Amino acid sequence: MIFSTPIFVFAFLPLFLIAYYLVPAKLRTTVILIGSCIFYGWWKATYLLLVLGIAAVSYVAGAIALNGATKAHRVWAVRLGVCANLLALAWFKYAYFIANSFDAALAKIGFPRDAGIQLPDIILPIGLSFLVFQSISYILDVSRRDAPPARRMVDFLAFSTLFPQLIAGPILRYKDLADQFEDRTHSLRQFYHGASRFVTGLAMKLLIADSVAPLADRLFALSTPTMAESWLAALAYSIQLFFDFAGYSAMAIGLGLMIGFRFVENFNAPYISRSVTEFWKRWHISLSNWLRDYLYVPLGGNRGGSFKTYRNLLLTMVLGGLWHGANWTFILWGIWHGGLMALERSLGSKSRASVWPAAIAWPLTMILVMIGWVMFRAPTVTQGLGIYQGMLGFNGLPLTGETLLLMRPTEAISLALGIAISTAQGWAPNLRDLSQRVPTQIANSASFVRAVCLFCLCGMIMQARADSPFLYFQF
């Protein structure tokens, strides 16, 4: 089930909210668990057992890691719990990648292609990457006594299957929600803010991301794109990805507010960043924090000298890239960002907001980020290199007539609107001061009218368009 579909917006969500608010407070967590199981099982019921199994194993591992009879029991509980999560992820997400890489290596030394590893059909369960990271953080936090263990298994199962964010984040940590499972605040004002945030995210997805997507898809499918087409492809995908993923996060946060949860923010205007280091403080914040706390710091962080710091940055980003998908494109994307962050670190990014000259800091950062998005989007390294060749002008300079002919007005308008919205915060610092001078009643009325208009517009678009899964479903 997808948030941006009529069956979710007009059927599942209203029925779930009615059930949630009709039952006594002590049963609401159970309703969340049941609703989340229905939501996930709608896609593939058999994989629901996998999700619940991973959650149950992580819950038991955390309990033993905290209360095991001996230190050895506690240590092994952590090891086995983490390994069980990683093995599940490795099988479903990386088995084909490993097997294909092994087969390719055999082929290069003369073996036939069918002499390698034979695997059954494997379908990646949606949301598995996010679930595994959340489960690992729970086991480690509990074992370190950085977080309280879940008092009831139903609480942890509800946390693990929490449908607002199960599929594509934000990556939550149980310690941030433990108190909210015990006692959540519900109010009409909070519900309205949640609904408004959900509608905003829905509009980001349907009005911007899905409208720009056909343009990005056509441009990335070109065999010999010109310079203008290559850079337009990178720009279009940058806008599509941001509004798609940030839209999902906004919808997840809004849904959480509607049932009393406050999730962490996942985006903070990343396209106004003035360095790649700053970009990763603003983009996919929950992932950045997870990589920092459970990879970068355990690897040694910035301890042990400059070389080890750069190495740790590079390794962290490479593993972060590999987390996104089993493809060499993601590994190269991780190397690109890790290398740039190491370079900025060597130039003094720890002591300065940006190491680049003020006049070029923002455009240079955006160019570097867009160059990275090309490899992130490309299905193969070869296709990504083809786009890079186009960016350098090897296939000509201007847009071709075919590209201009196929570009729809809605694509161009949505792209321009996406650029304006995603960069506006950096160039309009006085908007907040202006909003503070507007009477509260007028501001609330305007917000309500805006939410209703956006919802009606999104409702019409949902009826007219085919379902479009969120991009991060595949990661």
Domain presence at residue 66: yes
Same domain, 204 and 133: no
- Please tell me the least confidently modeled range out of 61-70, 110-119, 383-392, 450-459: 110-119
Domain presence at residue 132: yes
- pLDDT confidence of residue 376: 96
Same domain, 422 and 402: yes
Q: Calculate the alpha carbon distances from 384 to 137, 187, 273, 328, 400 in Å.
A: 34, 49, 24, 11, 20
Q: What is the mean pLDDT of the chain?
A: 89
> What is the per-residue pLDDT across 51-89, written as a single tens digit (0 to 9) for each?
999 999 999 999 999 888 888 989 999 999 999 999 999
Q: Which of 73, 284, 324, 337 is catalytic?
A: 324
Same domain, 18 and 157: yes
Mean pLDDT, residues 422-435 taken together? 54
Domain presence at residue 212: yes
Domain presence at residue 162: yes
Mean pLDDT, residues 256-280 taken together? 95
Would the pLDDT of 310 be above 60?
A: yes
Q: What is the 3-state secondary structure (H, E, C) of the chain?
A: CCCCCHHHHHHHHHHHHHHHHHCCHHHHHHHHHHHHHHHHHCCCHHHHHHHHHHHHHHHHHHHHHHHCCCHHHHHHHHHHHHHHHHHHHHHHHHHHHHHHHHHHHHHHCCCCHHHCCCCCCCCCCCCHHHHHHHHHHHHHHHHCCCCCCCCCHHHHHHHHHCCCCCCCCCCCCHHHHHHHHHCCCCCHHHHHHHHHHHHHHHHHHHHHHHHHHHHHHHHHCCCCCCHHHHHHHHHHHHHHHHHHHHHHHHHHHHHHHHCCCCCCCCCCCHHHCCCHHHHHHHCCHHHHHHHHHHHHHHHCCCCCCHHHHHHHHHHHHHHHHHHHCCCHHHHHHHHHHHHHHHHHHHCCCCCCCCCCCHHHHHHHHHHHHHHHHHHHHCCCHHHHHHHHHHHCCCCCCCCCHHHHHHCCHHHHHHHHHHHHHHHHHHHCCCHHHHHHHCCHHHHHHHHHHHHHHHHHHHHHHHHHCCCCCCHHHHC
Same domain, 235 and 364: yes
The confidence band for 32, taking pLDDT boundaries of 50, 70 and 90, is very high
Same domain, 21 and 133: yes
CA distance 432 to 426: 12
- How many domains is the chain partitioned into structurally? 2
Q: What single-letter amino acid sits at 464?
A: A
CA distance 363 to 222: 26
Domain presence at residue 243: yes
CA distance 457 to 441: 24
CA distance 28 to 264: 21
Same domain, 374 and 257: yes
Same domain, 113 and 211: no
- pLDDT confidence of residue 275: 95
The confidence band for 249, taking pLDDT boundaries of 50, 70 and 90, is very high
Point out the domain boundary residue: 184, 210, 235. Answer: 184
Point out the domain boundary residue: 169, 184, 199. Answer: 184
Contact 80, 60 (CB under 8 A): no
- pLDDT confidence of residue 425: 62
Q: What single-letter amino acid sits at 344?
A: E
CA distance 167 to 238: 21
Same domain, 73 and 168: yes
- pLDDT confidence of residue 442: 52
Q: What percent of the chain has pLDDT over 90?
A: 68
Cis peptide before 298 (omega within 30 of 0): no
> What is the per-residue pLDDT across 324-346, written as a single tens digit (0 to 9) for each?
988 999 999 999 999 999 999 99
Contact 92, 124 (CB under 8 A): yes
Mean pLDDT, residues 132-156 taken together? 92
Give yes or no: 186 in active site. Answer: no
CA distance 67 to 74: 7
Centroid of chain to Cα 177? 19
Point out the domain boundary residue: 184, 211, 246. Answer: 184
- pLDDT confidence of residue 164: 92
> What is the per-residue pLDDT across 188-225, written as a single tens digit (0 to 9) for each?
999 999 999 999 999 999 999 999 999 999 999 999 99
Same domain, 156 and 109: yes
Q: Calculate the alpha carbon distances from 16 to 188, 208, 359, 451 in Å.
A: 17, 28, 51, 21
Domain presence at residue 431: yes
The confidence band for 115, taking pLDDT boundaries of 50, 70 and 90, is low
CA distance 148 to 142: 6
Same domain, 229 and 128: no
Domain presence at residue 349: no
Q: What single-letter amino acid sits at 302?
A: N
Domain presence at residue 293: no
CA distance 30 to 21: 12
Q: Can you give the residue range of the structural domain that contains 88? A: 6-184
Task: Count the Cβ atoms, other than its own, within 10 Å of residue 101.
Answer: 15
Output the six-digit token pair for 19: 């059930």
Same domain, 11 and 109: yes
CA distance 162 to 167: 9
> What is the per-residue pLDDT across 376-421, written as a single tens digit (0 to 9) for each?
999 999 999 999 999 999 999 999 999 999 999 999 999 999 999 9
- pLDDT confidence of residue 107: 73
Rg, Å, the chain Cα set = 23
Residue 52 main-chain phi, psi, to 5 deg: -65, -35
- pLDDT confidence of residue 33: 96
Contact 39, 1 (CB under 8 A): yes
Same domain, 180 and 200: no
- pLDDT confidence of residue 125: 84
Mean pLDDT, residues 234-256 taken together? 95
